[in-house]
Chains A and B, each alone.
Chain A
């Protein structure tokens, strides 16, 4: 099983590397699916079959579908890829990459120094997980439910295709502007009928 672990780890790392270096969003997402599948394999090798299945279903399935859906809706095609190519210059990525490399080294040193014992793997069955979830983590599960609900409501609200309005104050401003422009036009064009005397005076001022 350790072979499975190393192999799938390799696949996961390489696929993830591909994800963050692709220019085209669809390519990146496909590599991301590969990465998720590889991580699912790692879970399996670690003796967590339930989580491995969830990884495939939710991450590689549902979430990826969401991403691809958005990419298709926004019609991100070759232009985006071209732009990505322009954006992703060595000047841009060398610095962060070096920083993260240093961080990786430090984590590595910490891990080696920790001198952790070998992992005696044992399968943790879905039953155990379920008992734990609906036993001690019941409230956390409820909270996760709330979170998801909030996510749905938030996504539905934000995703509504609204007019170009950044902020309610800004909108009021533009509204007011439009309204006054309309009124002014009315005064100029119309002969003043329908506008009270006092109001007309104000406009003229």
Chain B
């Protein structure tokens, strides 16, 4: 198989992760934030798989599977929350959801 430098793969993973992070930081819409979090999780999985490939071990892929499971659970709960928020506040603006603010 072809030779790919591991740092390249990790760099791509970092770029994806940071794009996701930028999304979390810049978007006010809570749905977009969830999407961005998915991107970040995916990037983390990519890093795991790359590491597993480097050592020719299945552990990286196993980890990716767990991340996948976690992402699925998180997305289902997160989306349910998004729906509740929409129903109750009629808004997607995360800045409006600051009930935990210290008065």
Contact = CB atoms under 8 A, between A and B. Distances in A.
A120 B80 CA distance: 43
Interface of B, helix, strand, loop or mixed by DSSP: helix
Contacts, number: 258
Contacts of A5: 2, 4, 8-9
Contacts of B16: 12-13, 16, 35, 39
Interface in B12-41: 12, 14-16, 18-23, 25-29, 31-32, 34-36, 38-39
Q: How big is the B interface, by class? A: 35 or more
Q: How big is the A interface, by class? A: 35 or more
A162 B12 CA distance: 43
Interface of A, helix, strand, loop or mixed by DSSP: helix
B80 A67 contact: no
Given A2-B3, A66-B79, A124-B57, A46 B50 contact: yes
Contacts of B76: 66, 151-152, 154-155
Interface of A: 1-3, 5-6, 9, 12-13, 16-17, 19-20, 25, 28-29, 32, 35-36, 39, 42-43, 45-48, 50-51, 54-55, 58-59, 62-63, 66-67, 70-71, 73-74, 76, 80, 83-84, 87-88, 92-93, 96-97, 99-101, 103-104, 107-108, 111-112, 114, 116-124, 128-129, 131-133, 137, 140, 144, 147-148, 150-152, 154-159, 161-162, 164, 166
